[in-house]
């Protein structure tokens, strides 16, 4: 087996300015290391994808032929990863016209937002309001796409309704059992509460925007999150990123008025003073660990609602809350 028979996993050398240290080059593909991992004994370093493919066919180190399995691999040392992250690299879409050169650490973030990225989501110009990959606009059909979206929302709603009915049945049975136990103990149980609508219409009831209890109920339908890297925040997200997050929040049932107010605070110019600048974020970083944070489903973005963060100082929270979009670091 020859390393030349394997597809390249690393970054092409031609994309980098100047000479790249040979310690940063994968000996399998000959490119700059991508997700570098290291053999534990000989300490040879490879692209994760390259060495995984190699070891599927030959369980030895490709340099010195010592026995090696994938489970023995460990992440490359931090100093090597730091050196890689500081390299200047041409954009993935250089051949399509982008002349940007960015640090390798931020190359993926740049590529996702690059105006030359053919898969970059853009708003449909025909009126449906959906975000569509640019290279799929020609085949995009508003009616078909909206029908699929409605079908997906209906399926999710049906699943939620089914779960709520099961929970309601369990609660009724539990109440029935408790009343029976009270009667058997000679205690007169209280009269049952009058019935009422269990839930407001999630999509259309804007009363939630001003009702803290309903905001809390909606917020608790979202997963709690943790921000591992506050430095990964995109403090000035473009309109495309904001539109993607807006759509994801809308699909959770966030009412339109509350959604508008929250998205007005998705940019640093709408954040409270203690978050609104890089200097303030560095100064107040330790206090951010006290936030109650909700994950925007499927996105590297979080929601900090005022109703869940009354314990935070005024300079770190605004009504009704703020949205923060990240390049990475949301768990």
Phi-psi region of 121 (alpha: psi -120 to 50; beta: other; left: phi over 0): beta
Cα–Cα nearest to 33, from 96, 95, 82, 94? 82
30/11 Cα distance (integer angstroms): 9
Contact status, residue 305 vs residue 245, Cβ threshold 8 Å: no
pLDDT band at 315 (very low <50, low <70, confident <90, very high): confident
176/184 Cα distance (integer angstroms): 12
For the chain, give every domain's residue range.
3-85, 206-331
Contact status, residue 225 vs residue 295, Cβ threshold 8 Å: yes
Sheet holding 321-326, edge to edge: 233-234, 321-326, 301-305, 294-295
The strand ranges marked E within the chain are: 36-38, 45-47, 74-75, 88-90, 101-103, 121-123, 131-133, 233-234, 294-295, 301-305, 321-326
Please confirm whether the linkage preceding 320 is cis (ω < 30° from 0): yes
First vs last C-alpha separation in the chain = 40
Give 202-258 pLDDT, tens digit per residue: 444 445 545 677 888 888 889 999 999 888 899 999 998 899 999 999 999 888 888
- Is the confidence at residue 308, as pLDDT, over 70? yes
Cα–Cα nearest to 136, from 116, 114, 115, 118? 118
Protein fold of 3-85 = Herpes Virus-1 (3.30.40)
Give 11-29 pLDDT, tens digit per residue: 888 888 888 888 999 999 9
Q: Could you say which DSSP state residue 190 is in? A: P
- Is the confidence at residue 101, as pLDDT, over 70? yes
Does the predicted TM-score (pTM) go above 0.95? no
């Amino acid at each position: 087996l020859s390393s030349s028979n394997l597809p390249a996993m690393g970054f092409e050398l031609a994309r980098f300015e100047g000479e790249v240290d040979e310690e940063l080059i994968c000996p399998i593909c000959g490119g700059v290391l991508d997700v570098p991992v290291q053999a534990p004994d000989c300490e040879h370093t490879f692209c994760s994808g390259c060495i995984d493919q190699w070891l599927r066919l030959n369980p030895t180190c490709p340099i010195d032929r010592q026995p090696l399995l994938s489970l023995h691999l460990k992440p490359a040392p931090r100093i090597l990863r730091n050196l890689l992250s500081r390299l200047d690299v041409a954009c993935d879409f250089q051949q399509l016209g982008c002349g940007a050169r960015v640090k390798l650490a931020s190359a993926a973030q740049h590529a996702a937002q690059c105006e030359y990225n053919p898969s970059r989501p853009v708003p449909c110009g025909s009126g449906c309001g959906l975000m569509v990959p640019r290279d799929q606009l020609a085949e995009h059909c508003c009616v078909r796409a909206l029908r699929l979206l409605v079908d997906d929302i209906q399926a999710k709603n049906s699943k939620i309704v089914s779960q709520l009915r099961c929970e309601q049945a369990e609660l009724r049975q539990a109440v029935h059992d408790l009343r029976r136990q009270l009667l058997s103990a000679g205690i007169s149980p209280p009269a049952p509460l009058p019935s009422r609508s269990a839930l407001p219409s999630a999509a259309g009831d804007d009363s939630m925007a001003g009702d803290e209890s309903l905001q809390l109920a909606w917020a608790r339908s979202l997963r709690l999150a943790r921000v591992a890297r506050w430095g990964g925040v995109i403090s000035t997200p473009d309109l495309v990123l904001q539109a993607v997050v807006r759509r994801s929040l809308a699909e959770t049932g966030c009412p339109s008025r509350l959604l508008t107010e929250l998205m007005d605070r998705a940019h640093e110019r709408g954040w409270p003073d203690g978050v609104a600048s890089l200097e303030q974020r560095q100064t107040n970083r330790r206090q951010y660990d006290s936030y109650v944070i909700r994950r925007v489903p499927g996105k590297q973005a979080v929601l900090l609602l005022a109703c869940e963060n009354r314990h935070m100082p005024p300079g770190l929270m605004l009504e009704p809350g703020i949205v923060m979009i990240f390049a990475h670091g949301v768990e």
